[in-house]
Chains A and B, each alone.
Chain A
Amino acid sequence: MSPVIENLDLYVDGFLTSLSIIVVAMIGSLLLGTLIAAFRVSPVPPLRAFGTFWVSTFRNTPLSVVLFFCAFGLPELGINRTFYFFGVLGLILYTSAFVCEAIRSGINSVSAGQAEAARSIGLNFSQSLRFVVLPQALRTVVPPLGSVIIAMFKNSAVVGAFGVGGDLWSTGQTLTSARGYETLPIFIGVAIGFLLITLPAGAVLQVIERKVAIAR
């Protein structure tokens, strides 16, 4: 493992860049995914159709294809940004579809009787949503949403492979190709970097799941 220890500073930089991709993509995909989920359950048909289109497009396209689209298609639309921007944008677009589905399935899991009961005791629409439907939906959403987000953490490696530069993956690439280190130890170092993110995230998710779990 000495090649990893020799280049520990590079690894730390890469780890921090990966972390920044993850944090930006997490915030972005949660916001966008919630918006699309709101579209999908709204009473307005064009928005519903748009939401369905969005989800079936991004869920069934490989992340790599989404990334290539961002990098080659958006400049043609007059949007010229850095690879970091395109990479994170692609990850957000892709993940938002999964976030949307997790949230929507949570809303669907609240039985209609709950909303009906809320109405019949005199709560209005926003009250029944705020006090009855959403608190239950959010709890059901936590486990699937958590695994979507952790999958996104792992997918950030693809964004690195795509060429964002400076993240954990690129650190590994630089060390093996430009500096001639052997692949195996260097990429085991990369793998450990990702485990340092995903394993604690998994543990945190379990704690949260236990906190919000409800008996049905």
Chain B
Amino acid sequence: MSQQETVLFDAQGPKARRRTMIGTVIGALFLLALAVVVVLRLAGQNQFSMELWGPLLNPGNENFELVWGVIGEGIVNTIKAALVAMTLSVVIGTLIAVARLSLGRYARIPLIGFVEVFRGLPVVVLVYLSVRALPDVGIDLRGWPGGQVFWGLIIGLTAYNMVIFAEVVRAGVASLPRGQREAALATGLTNGQAMRLILLPQAFRVMLPAIISQLVVVLKDTSLVVFVANFDELLSQGESIIRNLGNPIQTFTVIALLYIAINYTLGRLAQWVQARQARGSTAKATGGDDLVPVRDGA
């Protein structure tokens, strides 16, 4: 915080401090009033009754164990789907990036078109198409472990994220000093070996924070399956709790807090890794920061 203040503000004198103080009081009062209004309205609708919160908060409630069992299952499925989709996206994304970097100027044009098209599509459309339309074109995923909806979701998420990763990997490789590749070729490695042994390992190191931040995006996107088909991830589990107990505000609050807890932790982890890398290595003048904008809010 102090960093921003130095850019925008002078160190405050007595007058400015008084103004800030007044602003603090007014701002705090305003936020407090807002909170009070919300709480009063909710209380007026009897939203704080233990009848509604009990199954989520009170371990003595008859439904408590059942509800948290369902939520736990949802968390496991959400994380499982996110990790599988993430792994596939990184692998396929790397292949696309390597192909794009090694093809000639004209041969890579169709690949660029492919990347641009998939980057321009909403992820929910891709998930819908892979869950609903893949069976129509004769791709049967029912036999796969996890079932058809799970793999449909995975394929949809992968289709969206692989091209994002292709761009991340490409930027990562491009951020390395030219000398790395030249030195690798000079020691007699082939192009492929230089990519595999020298460039990609270093690029992945630079990319690690971007990969973790993108995991947050994937984790959030798993919830989109709720609009497409039945799959027991966190949000869908919340919906089925609501159908049975009729407590939407309470359950959605808990579900949202769980998502925030997981994603906030991942976000901090990404920041920590990035700070560590920025500190740990002197040869990384190009690293880290360049890659952060990859997280594009999807």
Q: Which residues of A contact B (CB under 8 A)?
A: 41-48, 50, 56-57, 59-65, 68-69, 72-73, 76-78, 95, 98, 104, 107-108, 110-112, 114-115, 119, 125, 129, 133, 143-144, 147-148, 150-152, 154-158, 161-162, 169, 176, 182-184, 187-188, 190-191, 194-195, 198-199, 202
Would B136 and A183 count as touching, CB distance under 8 A? yes
Would A191 and B129 count as touching, CB distance under 8 A? yes
Would A202 and B116 count as touching, CB distance under 8 A? yes
**Nearest chain-A residue to B260 (Cβ)?**
A60
Q: Which residues of B contact A45 (CB under 8 A)?
A: 24
Bound complex: CA of A109 vs CA of B251, how far in Å? 40
Bound complex: CA of A189 vs CA of B117, how far in Å? 14
Which of A42, A44, A176: most chain B Cβ within 10 A?
A44
Bound complex: CA of A61 vs CA of B234, how far in Å? 12
| Cβ distance B34 to chain A, nearest Cβ, rounded Å | 9
B45 contacts A by Cβ under 8 Å = yes
Instruction: Specify which of A72, A107, A148 is in contact with B7 (CB 8 Å cutoff).
Output: A107
Would A184 and B133 count as touching, CB distance under 8 A? yes
Bound complex: CA of A68 vs CA of B252, how far in Å? 8
B20 contacts A by Cβ under 8 Å = yes
**Nearest chain-A residue to B38 (Cβ)?**
A77
Bound complex: CA of A111 vs CA of B168, how far in Å? 27
Would A69 and B252 count as touching, CB distance under 8 A? yes
Bound complex: CA of A194 vs CA of B121, how far in Å? 6
Would A72 and B298 count as touching, CB distance under 8 A? no
Bound complex: CA of A191 vs CA of B297, how far in Å? 19
| Cβ distance B196 to chain A, nearest Cβ, rounded Å | 30
Q: Which residues of B contact A (CB under 8 A)?
A: 1, 3-10, 12, 16, 20, 23-24, 27-28, 31, 38, 41-42, 45, 47, 116-117, 119-125, 128-129, 132-133, 136-137, 216, 220-221, 223-224, 226-228, 235, 248-249, 252, 255-256, 259-260, 263-264, 267, 293, 296-298
| Cβ distance B167 to chain A, nearest Cβ, rounded Å | 11
Would A112 and B133 count as touching, CB distance under 8 A? no
Q: Which residues of A contact B128 (CB under 8 A)?
A: 161, 183, 187
In the complex, how many residue pairs between chain A and chain B have their CB atoms under 8 Å apart? 176
Would B6 and A112 count as touching, CB distance under 8 A? yes
Extra pairs beyond A60-B259, A64-B227, A161-B128 (7, CB < 8 Å)? A47-B27, A60-B220, A64-B226, A154-B298, A158-B224, A161-B228, A183-B136
Would A110 and B263 count as touching, CB distance under 8 A? no
**Nearest chain-B residue to A71 (Cβ)?**
B248
| Cβ distance A216 to chain B, nearest Cβ, rounded Å | 12
* A108/B4 contact (C-beta < 8 A), A65-B223, A157-B122 known: yes
Which of A60, A143, A182, A194: most chain B Cβ within 10 A?
A60
| Cβ distance A117 to chain B, nearest Cβ, rounded Å | 12
Bound complex: CA of A143 vs CA of B223, how far in Å? 28
Bound complex: CA of A193 vs CA of B297, how far in Å? 21
Would B12 and A155 count as touching, CB distance under 8 A? no
Would you list 7 pairs from A and B whose C-beta atoms are within 8 A, ordered by A residue?
A64-B223, A65-B223, A77-B42, A98-B297, A112-B6, A184-B136, A198-B120
9 residue pairs, one from A and one from B, having the closest CB atoms: A157-B122, A60-B263, A198-B120, A161-B227, A72-B248, A62-B220, A151-B297, A154-B122, A98-B297
Would A44 and B20 count as touching, CB distance under 8 A? yes
Q: Which residues of B contact A151 (CB under 8 A)?
A: 296-298
Instruction: Specify which of B9, B121, B129 is in contact with A184 (CB 8 Å cutoff).
Output: B129
Would B9 and A125 count as touching, CB distance under 8 A? yes
Bound complex: CA of A161 vs CA of B8, how far in Å? 42
Bound complex: CA of A88 vs CA of B33, how far in Å? 26
| Cβ distance A163 to chain B, nearest Cβ, rounded Å | 9
| Cβ distance A38 to chain B, nearest Cβ, rounded Å | 10
Q: Which residues of A contact B137 (CB under 8 A)?
A: 184
Would A44 and B23 count as touching, CB distance under 8 A? yes
Bound complex: CA of A95 vs CA of B296, how far in Å? 10
Bound complex: CA of A65 vs CA of B256, how far in Å? 7
**Nearest chain-B residue to A156 (Cβ)?**
B122
Q: Which residues of A contact B45 (CB under 8 A)?
A: 76
Which of B10, B120, B256: most chain A Cβ within 10 A?
B120
Q: Which residues of A contact B256 (CB under 8 A)?
A: 57, 61, 65, 69
**Nearest chain-B residue to A112 (Cβ)?**
B6
Bound complex: CA of A169 vs CA of B224, how far in Å? 13
| Cβ distance B295 to chain A, nearest Cβ, rounded Å | 9
Bound complex: CA of A150 vs CA of B292, how far in Å? 17
